[in-house]
Amino acid sequence: NAGVTQTPKFQVLKTGQSMTLQCAQDMNHEYMSWYRQDPGMGLRLIHYSVGAGITDQGEVPNGYNVSRSTTEDFPLRLLSAAPSQTSVYFCASSYSLTGNEQFFGPGTRLTVL
């Protein structure tokens, strides 16, 4: 199993550009999530999904969109990048919504100039 994979590893954007961060898992997990990690703030939940076709907002959803057309994939879209979105982004998956271990991808380091 590859586990949770994320692409790209690094990305530099200019303010106003859009892009999609890719996330895929091969563990048949129903629950997937996106976090951002900022220095001194730990991880904060952006969006999550409890299954194909079902998504919801987390703690910091503004400026991001998600969709879940398949169980395996959960892309995160930045609609119009801003410097405040400079961060490290982690995708995670879990067997279910309730109290199970989350498996994390290696992260995408995004810089917005």
Partner 1 sequence: AQSVTQPDIHITVSEGASLELRCNYSYGATPYLFWYVQSPGQGLQLLLKYFSGDTLVQGIKGFEAEFKRSQSSFNLRKPSVHWSDAAEYFCAVGANNNNDMRFGAGTRLTVKP
Q: Does 71 participate in binding partner 1 (rule CB under 8 A)? A: no
Name the token pair of 6: 């994320």
Q: Does 43 participate in binding partner 1 (rule CB under 8 A)? A: yes
Q: Specify the residue, 58 or 63, whose C-beta has the smaller distance to partner 1.
A: 58
Residues in the chain: 113
Provide, rounded to whole angstroms, the least separation between the CB of residue 105 and partner 1.
5
Helix (H) or strand (E) run with residue 110 in it: strand 108-112
| Residue 113 identity (one-letter amino acid) | L
Q: Does 4 participate in binding partner 1 (rule CB under 8 A)? A: yes
Q: Using the rule CB under 8 A, which residue among 12, 54, 97, 113 binds partner 1?
A: 97
Peptide bond into 8 cis (omega under 30): yes
Provide, rounded to whole angstroms, the least separation between the CB of residue 15 and partner 1.
26
Other beta carbons less than 10 A from residue 103's beta carbon: 17
The rounded Cα 25 to chain-centroid distance in angstroms is 12
Residue ranges that bind partner 1, judged by CB under 8 A = 4, 31, 33, 35, 40-45, 48, 56, 58, 90, 92, 94, 97-102, 104-107
